[in-house]
A = this chain, B = another copy of it.
Amino acid sequence: MFPERAQLLVMVLDLLGVFAFALSGALVGVRKKFDIFGVLVLAGATGLGGGIIRDLMIGAVPPAALTDWWYLLVPLLAGLITFLFHRVVDRLETWVVFFDALGLGLFCAVGTIKALGHELTLLPAVLMGVVTAAGGGIVRDLLAHRVPIVFRGELYAIPALAGAVVTGIGVQLGWGSLVPAGAGLIVAITWRLLAVRRGWSAPIALHTPSGQPDDH
């Protein structure tokens, strides 16, 4: 997928992203007073969920998360650290947000490239990039029994979409994989971090009825 020299770098960055995602999942679990199993499941589901859904959908089974021990050890570690030292992790929020943005950027780029490598065309491949980047957070919120925050104005998926589009078009133009991935990653991370810093949010529809949403 990537030139051999770059493989290790991509994998290390990818695992950093998994680690950051897993921390965010584990923190939600601790705040919900989940037990150790719940915290570890949330760590794993958040760190690996997006990639697993992508792999199931493109037919890459067993998913990468099950064939390389690192992909199980990293979220396990993130979960245990958060379970034991959640007050410290909580205070490192700036770092978590930064690594989370790194994960977002990497996941959308890597997911798009992997999907293109499985003979998907541009539009579905971009969609798989977004699924890789945003899927883990959605699974986390489903398991934690709350509305996915990525649907509630948090500007998260749109930077991932932009990164996936840049990556996908770059690959289609024949620029290899490393340059498009780098460009997509930079677009997604920059946009995401600007959104966090400036409090940008995604638009909601105008004139929605006021009062309680229908919550039967």
Say yes or no: A31 contacts B158, CB within 8 Å: no
A170: Cβ under 8 A from any B Cβ: no
Q: Which of A10-18, A93-101, A174-182, A201-209 is the contact stretch? A: A201-209
Known contacts A72-B124, A124-B66; decide if A86 and B31 are in contact (CB<8 Å): no
Pair A33/B83 contact, Cβ less than 8 Å: no
A151 touches B208 (CB 8 A): no
Tell me the A177-191 residues at the B interface (CB within 8 Å): none
User: Residue on B with the closest CB to A128?
Assistant: B66
* Residues of chain B contacted by A124 (CB below 8 angstroms): 62, 65-67, 69, 72
User: In whole Å, how far is A104's beta carbon from the nearest beta carbon of chain B?
Assistant: 13
Which residues from B are CB-within-8-Å of A214? 31, 146
The answer for the CA separation of A81 and B17 in the assembled complex, in Å, is 35
Sample (23) of A-B pairs whose CB atoms are under 8 Å apart: A33-B204, A33-B213, A34-B152, A36-B204, A37-B156, A38-B148, A38-B152, A41-B138, A41-B151, A41-B157, A42-B151, A57-B62, A58-B62, A58-B66, A138-B143, A143-B148, A145-B145, A145-B146, A145-B148, A146-B214, A146-B215, A147-B216, A149-B216
Beyond contacts A31-B209, A31-B214, A82-B205: 13 other A-B pairs, Cβ-Cβ < 8 A, are A33-B213, A35-B153, A35-B154, A36-B158, A52-B57, A56-B61, A57-B62, A62-B118, A67-B120, A72-B123, A138-B143, A142-B142, A143-B151
